[in-house]
Amino acid sequence: MPDQDQTNASAADEAATQDAKLETPQSKDQEEHLGMDDIEKLLAEASGSLDKAAGKGTSSSSEPEPFNLGNLEPEENDGQRQSIDLLGEVELDLRIELGRTQMKLEEVLQLRGGSVVALDKLAGDPVDIFVNGKLIARGEVLVMNDNFCVRVTELVNG
């Protein structure tokens, strides 16, 4: 067993010696010289990379290759096209707005059957048609077969 302890001790001494060599400070001139060499190497590599990217240092006969966008024509889907009927079952929120007003909560609580609420639009003014909260058209209110209807008179862009 004493041989193993001596082996462990000598290994520890070697490790300590190597650590001491690594920690030994070099002279200030040597440190600055090594630092400058590293910086110069990095600058040279960076300059070379920039020159290569800019096309310097390569033969002038090499022309840049044009970018190929490929075929931009629409592909045919085996002759099968989906009809617009596919969207026929999509539900949308449609809202017709006759006008707007502001009321206090107290006034709202006093509303009863037959109460009149004044709106910001006059009779005959076009009503706003909203789909999913977005204004898409304006129209006029009609009465047809004792039902209220809205005839679209103007589509709103954007």
Residue spans per domain, the chain: 24-56, 90-155
What pLDDT score was predicted for residue 30? 53
Q: Mean of the pLDDT values across residues 79-91?
A: 76
Q: What is the CATH number of domain 90-155?
A: 2.30.330.10
Where residue 41 falls among pLDDT bands split at 50, 70, 90?
Answer: confident
Cα–Cα distance for residue pair 111/31, rounded to 1 Å: 89
- Eight-class DSSP state of 73: S
What pLDDT score was predicted for residue 108? 93
pTM above 0.75, yes or no: no
Residue 105 pLDDT exceeds 90:
yes
Taking a C-beta distance cutoff of 8 angstroms, is the pair 126, 139 a contact?
yes
Compare 84 and 24 and report the one with higher pLDDT: 84
Residue 88 pLDDT exceeds 90:
no
What pLDDT score was predicted for residue 60? 52
What pLDDT score was predicted for residue 42? 84
Contacts of 34 (CB under 8 A, 6+ apart): 26
What pLDDT score was predicted for residue 154? 92
Residue 59 pLDDT exceeds 80:
no
Which single residue is written with the structure tokens 């006759």?
98
Q: What DSSP element (H or E) covers 130?
A: strand 127-131
